[in-house]
Amino acid sequence: MPRYEVTIEKDACDGIFACLTRDPRFVEGEDGLATVDPDADPVYDCEGEVTDTDERVVATFDDDRIDEAQQAAAACPTDAIAVREVGE
């Protein structure tokens, strides 16, 4: 199964939250911008590593839901979200 990384660049995020409707792991953070919370998905028990700094959010997953993350990234009108495979 591919391992993939989701990155949200906070300076590019405008808090439009189009990503939230594509992937339930995307949520509104305390700063009013998008972030990733693996526990926010009500359907799947999801595990992932999330690092949230002043500049960006980086989440790494090794599940089969890369398509959902890519749909969330494609929905972002400011291109603040990137998804890339980082290995097996």
Per-residue pLDDT tens digits for 34-55? 999 999 988 887 788 999 999 9
pTM: 0.92
Residues of the chain with pLDDT below 50 are none
Of 79, 6, 73, the residue nearest 36 (C-alpha)? 6
What is the structure's pLDDT at 43? 82
Measured in whole angstroms, the distance separating CA 40 from the mean position of its chain's CA atoms is: 11
Three-class secondary structure of residue 21 per DSSP: helix
Q: For 3-87, give the CATH class.
A: alpha beta
The ranges assigned to domains in the chain are: 3-87
Q: Are 75 and 18 in contact (CB under 8 A)?
A: yes
Distance CA 28, CA 12 (A): 15
